[in-house]
Structure 1
Amino acid sequence: MKNRPQYALTSVDHALRLAVLLQVEGPLSVSDAAERLGVARSTAHRLLSMLVYRDFARQGEDRRYHAGPVISLTADSQSRTALLRTVAMPHLHALVGRLNESANLLVLAGDYARFIASVEGTQALRVGTREGMVFPAHLTSGGKLMLADLTSDERAELYAAERWDGREDDRPDLGALDKELAVVRDRGFAINKDRTESGVTAIGRGIRVGDRVEAAVTVSMPTVRFDESRLVDVVSALALTARDIEHDLQDALRVESHP
């Protein structure tokens, strides 16, 4: 279970978020970084300069900042993730408008679910941004949906004992997980109530591209505000959002492949 530290250091949080953005989305200008963090350009520049100093970032000839050797991923991974986020953002904002709860976009990263986009609700009591964070996939609503779309062999390989050396206590029981994921497949949505963060409940829906669930969209809310009577409305809103993201992403991929 993951909870925000009582005495969180904002500057450290900002630097780590920037590092994740560079890793999973690709190059950022100083203005881009400032806008994403909600800080002044001068602050963003200082943060990026420190990341460059520690090799978490590098500055290209175009003056934009790229992932450095410490965190660099393949260009294809960055491009696909960045495109998915760009396409999904307007729909996440629309989802927040419908439900007034925070909305998120997740992708699978090994046995973790990574939040690549997050839009906060506007209520005073709300779940804050989770962008850049990772949680065990088998505990999150979005992660369950993506795991449920894997074959039994793919899940067995992902949770093979030798891959969990040093993390044995956190490794899920594969038989129990398979049963839970079968229910998720049948229902078409998943719920995470207090399993990753105390006091937070999330409901998720998969985003299918082609024949695979490549991402998931979720709504997260304070558990005290979660009521099963809202479930039909939330799941319906998620289904509409997932459908719209799938449609726009397919269009964007066609344009990208036939410029």
Structure 2
Amino acid sequence: MNIVKKPGYAVDSVDRALQLIMLLQERDWLRITDAAKALDVAPSTAHRLMAMLVYRGFALQDDQRRYCVGPALRADAAAGPARTALSIARPHLEALALSVRETVSLVERVGITARYLFTAEGPQLLRVGNRTGTVLPAHLSSGGKAILATLPQPSVAQLYTGRQAQQSGSSLAAAELAGLQRELEEARTRGYAVNLGRTEPDLAAVGAPLAIAGRPAALAVSISAPLSRGGDIQQPAIIEALHATCEAVMRDLHAEGVPPAL
């Protein structure tokens, strides 16, 4: 058996990034302080390394500033279709961002989280930045709610009151769940979900699912803007463009044989 030695030309930053990837694969969630300790580097260094992994899809960040394995490292069966869906959706999202002049994202629901797989930034000077790699609570984000709205009410209730939700501390109280169900019913009626300052105080967003009528979705497209333009992105022309993009992506997914519910 050959002994693998550290190369004499080893690049420390690359070595640390690879160690960081291994840590992500070993743990469910990883905080910057823990990563810095494991790598024996300053937290600022660990943060810069992690930021690059997020940018390239190797890591995802949630709203508690924790990190987990990103789509580029996933080995599950859904990873292939998800990557194919992303490549199909990308040109449509970029075209929509230019058309509506706001930031557009492809969002995936994983359990009770909404994970941003890709972002096309809008051209305006004051805009929402790149969300790729961000993980948010699905019941607060527009994309997450758009996807949840394609589920039957009992399935939504199970997600937020079941054993897994209770064990993870993410269960919703009865009043919170009732409020969420009302929001989802409104989203089903109008065809899109809204987030006005729920995930970030100065952010507004609308989201629509990539779904076939009567079937649960796994992905959504969202349009994000500063809260001051929250009313603008709900104008009929913007919502029509959002729905047209979703329909175009669904047509291309069907043509490529990619299932809409990933």
Normalised by the length of structure 1, the TM-score is 0.71
Q: Deviations over 1:98-141 (max 9, x none)?
A: 11111001111000111111011121111111111110001011
TM-superposed deviation, 1:151: 1.5
Task: Please tell me whether the aligned partners of residues 209 and 250 of structure 1 are also in contact (alpha carbons under 8 angstroms).
Answer: no
CA–CA separation in structure 2 for the residues paired with 1:250 and 1:241: 14
2:188 corresponding residue in structure 1: 185
Percent identity, aligned pairs only, is 29
Please give the per-residue CA displacement for 1:79-114, whole angstroms capped at 9, x wherever unaligned.
Answer: 011011011000001101111111001111000111
- Which one has a bigger Cα radius of gyration? 2
Q: Secondary structure at the match of 1:208?
A: coil
CA distance in 2, matches of 1:12, 1:77: 24
Give per-residue Cα distances to partners, 1:38-58, cap 9 Å, x unaligned: xxxxxxxxxxxxxxxxxxxxx
Does 1:249 find its partner at 2:250?
no
Report the secondary structure of 1:183's partner residue.
Answer: helix
- TM (norm. structure 2) is 0.70
C-alpha deviation, 1:214, in angstroms: 2.7
Greater mean alpha carbon deviation, residues 163-172 or residues 212-221: 163-172
Structure 1 Cα separation of the partners of residues 258 and 97 of structure 2: 28
Q: Which residue of 1 aligns with 2:239?
A: 235
> Is there any run of 5+ residues in structure 1 with no aligned partner, and where?
1-6, 27-66
Q: State the aligned residue count.
A: 204
Note closer, same or farther for the CA distance 1:10–1:178 as it changes in structure 2 (3 Å cut): same
- Residue number in structure 1 paired with 2:141: 140
Contact 2:206 2:233 in 1 (8 A): no
- Greater CA drift, 182-191 or 158-167: 158-167
Counterparts of 1:230 and 1:190, CA distance in 2:
10
Q: Alpha-carbon deviations, 1:14-64, whole Å to 9, x = none?
A: 1234323895544xxxxxxxxxxxxxxxxxxxxxxxxxxxxxxxxxxxxxx
The answer to whether the 8 Å contact 1:137/1:144 transfers is yes
Which residue identity does 2:128 align to in structure 1? V
Quote the RMSD (CA, aligned, Å).
Answer: 2.6
1:135–1:230: structure 2 CA closer, same or farther, 3 Å change rule? closer
Alignment map for 1:78-117 (pairs within 5 Å): 78-117=79-118
Q: Distance in 1 between matches of 2:233 and 2:119?
A: 25
Match of 1:20 in 2: 59
Deviation at 1:254, TM superposition (A): 6.6
Q: Which amino acid aligns with 1:214?
A: A
Structure 1 SS opposite 2:237? helix
**Residues 180, 230 of structure 1: alpha-carbon distance in 2 compared, 3 angstrom cutoff:** closer
Question: Aligned pair in 2 of structure 1 residues 25, 166: CA closer, same or farther (>3 Å)?
Answer: closer
Alpha-carbon distance in 1 for matches of 2:249, 2:70: 19
Match of 2:222 among 212, 218, 235: 218
**Which residue identity is paired with 1:199?**
D
Instruction: Map 1:60-209; keep pairs closer than 5 Å.
Output: 67=73, 72-74=74-76, 76-160=77-161, 162=163, 163-165=165-167, 167=169, 173-209=176-212
C-alpha separation in 2, matches of 1:168 and 1:247 = 35
1:11 CA drift (Å): 3.4
